[in-house]
Amino acid sequence: MALDPFHDLWSHDQLRQRLEHELRKPQFEPACADGAWRRYRFPARKARLVSDAVVWVRDRGGLRSGLAAQQSEDERRQWLCDCPGVGLKTASWLLRNCGWAERLAILDVHVLRALAEAGVSEKRPSSARDYLEIERAYLQWAEQLDASPAELDLFLWDVQRAR
């Protein structure tokens, strides 16, 4: 049976306990050297973050209505960053991949590597300020190339993974 974390039957503690139980199970590949499936690291912490995020979303009436109430991409991202466990990269990824934003950067390794190789930025994000600074450089670069940020990201991912 699929686990539906947003179902009304779950209390915060019940959901956290069930998630932790699931996350402790060996369940994904690639297999370990001994052939056993891998487990998630820090299952108690992940379970707490997910259950806290579910409560946060519920308390705000759901993601769609919360995102729709925001006036801009930046406001939507900031709203999501208030959710437990969500930072700029995760919020940007969610918004762009769900169609809620077009001019946000997902500063993944392939984008950072390409920025460095192109001489645009050598920085790595270690704070929100760094992330936003690198994002501005990426968006300017995309504009100079006359490319949408999302299309450039896809192109860079394709080029970088072929290496």
**Residues known to be catalytic:** 89, 108
Ramachandran region, residue 121 (left: φ > 0; alpha: ψ -120 to 50; beta: rest): beta
If asked whether residues 125 and 141 sit together in one domain, one would say: yes
Per-residue pLDDT, 28 = 85
Residue 49 counted as domain residue? yes
In angstroms, the CA 31 to CA 36 distance is 5
SS3 assignment, position 38:
strand
If asked whether residues 113 and 155 sit together in one domain, one would say: yes
For residues 34-54, one letter each, b for 16 or more C-beta atoms within 10 angstroms of the residue's C-beta and e for the rest, the string is eeeeeebeebeebbbbbbbeb
If asked whether residues 70 and 50 sit together in one domain, one would say: no
SS3 assignment, position 9:
coil
Residue 6 counted as domain residue? no
In Å, what is the CA distance from 55 to each residue of 12, 62, 106, 140, 162? 7, 10, 26, 37, 41
If asked whether residues 88 and 123 sit together in one domain, one would say: no
Residues 6+ apart with CB under 8 A from 93: 106
If asked whether residues 120 and 136 sit together in one domain, one would say: yes
Per-residue pLDDT, 1 = 53
**Domain residue limits at 19:** 12-59
9-29 per-position pLDDT tens digit: 899 999 999 999 999 999 888
If asked whether residues 157 and 114 sit together in one domain, one would say: yes
81-121 per-position pLDDT tens digit: 999 999 999 999 999 999 999 999 999 999 999 999 999 99
